[in-house]
């Protein structure tokens, strides 16, 4: 079982300064222990985390004493994906506990490889119960059993380690295959711009407006009043 040597954390030291020094702020709590603040070496923790995950028991060494724990929760930086805080859950090694274990899919399905179907991963973890010492890091599912579209892999098909029982219902589907649907290519009909132009031209001619004639502006007509005509006739008579 992996052991991580930790130190009690000085709460006067800022968290960013602690991280820059190569350490991760953390806490442990649980069976028979009050919550305590600690710091753990970054490189050592990432190595143990990769090996144990969050379902296998590990030990932390505090002041020369080993404490059995699970890596209960890990907060990571969303940009760098580096761990920035860790919660350790103290456990009783003599008492069974329930945890969720990740599923690892292995093997090759002929029906998927041939292109007939697509693999559907229905579950990605399984809840199990066991003594801490028997908790597996993960559970392996062999998808080579999926030979036809009618095949499914159930919880009951997973081979569990000794001393481990599944809490998730045995009849739940873990993986299956669905028929691959061929996508039809959409046909786009090009737009005939010349046809649209001819149609517009024809519409104008139907309305009685020739498309090649521009109407000339009307001339302004000047009309004399009846009074003006009478005055001119009188002047002619006088002459």
pLDDT in tens, 156-182: 999 999 999 999 999 999 999 998 876
CA angle 217, 221, 226 (to 5 degrees): 165
3-state DSSP call for residue 213? coil
Q: Which residues pair with 125 in a beta bridge?
A: 102
Residues linked to residue 74 through DSSP beta bridges, in sequence order: 86
Structure confidence at residue 88 (pLDDT): 94
Query: Contact, 90 vs 32, CB < 8 A?
Result: yes
Q: How far apart are CA 139 and CA 214, in angstroms?
A: 85
| pLDDT for the residue numbered 125 | 94
**Which residue is it, tokens 């970054």?**
42
Q: What is the pLDDT of residue 221?
A: 44
What is the dotted CATH code of the domain comprising 3-92?
Answer: 2.40.240.10
Query: Residue 46: in which H helix or E strand, if any?
Result: helix 42-52
By DSSP bridging, strand 97-106 and strand 139-142 are: parallel
Q: What residue ranges of the chain are covered by domains with CATH 2.40.240.10?
A: 3-92
Question: Does the pLDDT of residue 203 top 60, yes or no?
Answer: no
Q: Which residues pair with 78 in a beta bridge?
A: none
The values of phi and psi at residue 220, to 5°, are -85, 125
pLDDT band at 25 (very low <50, low <70, confident <90, very high): very high
Q: What is the second-level CATH architecture of the domain 98-179?
A: Beta Complex (2.170)
DSSP assignment letter at 224: -
Write the pLDDT tens digit of every residue in 119-147: 999 999 999 999 999 998 899 999 999 99
Is 50 exceeded by the pLDDT of residue 237?
no
Residues of the chain with CATH 2.170.120.20: 98-179
pLDDT at 128: 95
| Average pLDDT in the chain | 83
Sheet holding 97-106, edge to edge: 139-142, 97-106, 125-130, 165-166
- Mean of the pLDDT values across residues 211-234? 48
pLDDT at 64: 87
* Choice between 47 and 196, residue whose per-residue pLDDT is larger: 47
């Amino acid at each position: 079982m992996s052991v991580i040597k930790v130190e009690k954390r000085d709460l006067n030291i800022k968290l960013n300064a602690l991280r820059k020094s190569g350490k991760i702020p953390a806490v442990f709590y649980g069976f028979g222990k009050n919550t305590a603040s600690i710091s753990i070496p970054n490189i050592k923790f990432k190595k143990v985390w990769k090996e144990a995950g969050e379902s296998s028991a590990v030990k932390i060494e505090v002041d020369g004493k080993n404490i059995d724990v699970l890596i209960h929760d890990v907060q990571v930086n969303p940009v760098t994906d580096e761990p920035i805080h860790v919660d350790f859950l103290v456990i009783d090694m003599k008492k069974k506990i329930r945890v969720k274990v990740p599923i690892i899919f292995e093997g090759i399905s002929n029906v998927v490889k041939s292109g007939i179907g697509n693999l559907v991963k229905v579950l990605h973890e399984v809840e199990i119960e066991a003594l801490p010492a028997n908790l597996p890091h993960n559970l392996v599912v062999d998808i080579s059993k999926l030979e036809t579209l009618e095949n499914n892999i159930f919880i009951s098909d997973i081979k569990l380690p000794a001393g481990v029982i599944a809490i998730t219902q045995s009849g739940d589907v873990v993986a299956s295959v669905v028929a691959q649907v061929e996508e039809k290519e959409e046909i786009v009909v090009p737009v005939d711009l010349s046809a649209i132009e001819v149609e517009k031209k024809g519409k104008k001619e139907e309305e009685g407006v020739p498309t090649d004639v521009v109407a000339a502006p009307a001339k302004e007509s000047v009309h004399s009043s009846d009074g003006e005509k009478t005055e001119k006739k009188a002047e002619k008579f006088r002459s």
